[in-house]
Amino acid sequence: MKYLTFDQQKPLDFIAIGRLCIDLNANEINRPMEETVTFTKYVGGSPANIAIGMSRLGMKTGFIGRVADDQMGRFIINYLKRNHIDTSNVITDKSGSVTGLAFTEIKSPTDCSILMYRDNVADLKLEPNDIKEDYIKQAKALLISGTALAKSPSREAVFLALQYAKRHGVVVFFDLDYRPYTWKSHEETAIYYNLAAEKCDVIIGTREEFNIMERFESIQNNDERTAKKWFNYQAKIVVIKHGKEGSTAYTKEGEKFVGTIFPAKIIKTFGAGDSYAAAFIYGLMQGWDIPKAMEYGAAAASIVISSHSSSDAMPTLQQIEEFIQKYNNDQIKQGGRIT
């Protein structure tokens, strides 16, 4: 069944908008931040990671955002270019802003945390005037993420991008990407998340993120009711993630799909959602059925959480397929049943 229609005449497959920052991942793993002294630098930010993932999968990808006028900002732009991402709409902010930093703490494979520095960051300086209608209308799909809604003028820029996308038949994906650091309150978060979600075709988030968005309602912790709510607006697909328990996708036609779970040699937990989103979106844009798209998303997530980085580890299509094939072969050797 075809759930989404992508205009194949458009020259650009995918545009992401929002957060471009730096991840500084701890090299000394299995210890607290207080004892960590060295870090490795990577490009970070959920929309950035997803855009990198889409480009690695062979999609023609662009980005809309702002970076600081500093060494970190130049590092980000150069990295995007090396990964074949169009940066013509990535603006260097001249207001004296800084690049957002995310220090990661890896106490154990399942005990990870992020220390974020988000004051006066360039990505939240994105303005409505930065959003070019001619650029958005060239794309088959647009991704927005929740962090870009946290402050003005970035918030208004995202809503303008949504308006242009709707005007020109661009399919919109919403990665909820809730980060508490920049928001003033849960109430503010819920208001703007709801306003944005009403305009999106596919909504992807964790159960906890949907709960924050639904704080004014009585549908928390009920996946079916959550999905039904958004089908009353523009959404065609809602994906709710439950961490190691996997994910569930719902369609406007009333279908429900439970995603595959793959084992992983976990180094850290962050980055899984971004890699999942990239491969899942890629699958939908290829016209795959939802279970196959979810399978590739789950495999991509397992690959990334088995790596030290997030952006650098975003897999190619060949890497995902080899991962799935190896898993299937291992299941056969062990006498397991492949589903």
* Average pLDDT in the chain: 93
Number of folded domains that form the chain: 1
Residue 53 placed within a domain:
yes
- For residue 140, the model assigns a pLDDT of 98
pLDDT: which is higher, 327 or 130: 130
pTM of the predicted model as reported, rounded to 2 decimal places: 0.95
Residue 313 placed within a domain:
yes
Residue 241 placed within a domain:
yes
Query: What tokens appear for 90 in the block?
Result: 């990535």
Average pLDDT over residues 314-320: 96
What CA–CA distances, in Å, run from 328 to 2, 303, 325?
27, 15, 5
- For residue 339, the model assigns a pLDDT of 46
In which band, very low, low, confident or very high, does the pLDDT at 86 lie, cut at 50, 70 and 90?
very high
Residue 289 placed within a domain:
yes
- For residue 317, the model assigns a pLDDT of 97
Residue 162 placed within a domain:
yes
Residue 236 placed within a domain:
yes
In which band, very low, low, confident or very high, does the pLDDT at 336 lie, cut at 50, 70 and 90?
low
Residue 2 placed within a domain:
no
Residues spanned by the domain of 214: 12-19+47-96+126-331
C-beta separation of 285 from 315 below 8 A: no
In which band, very low, low, confident or very high, does the pLDDT at 309 lie, cut at 50, 70 and 90?
confident
Our measurement of the distance from residue 88's CA atom to the centroid of its chain's CA atoms, rounded to an integer in Å, reads 21
Residue 101 placed within a domain:
no
39-44 and 61-68 strand pairing: unpaired
Burial track 111-146 (b if 16+ CB lie within 10 A, e otherwise): ebebebbbeebbbbbbeeebbeeebbbbbbbbbbbb
CATH number of 148's domain: 3.40.1190.20
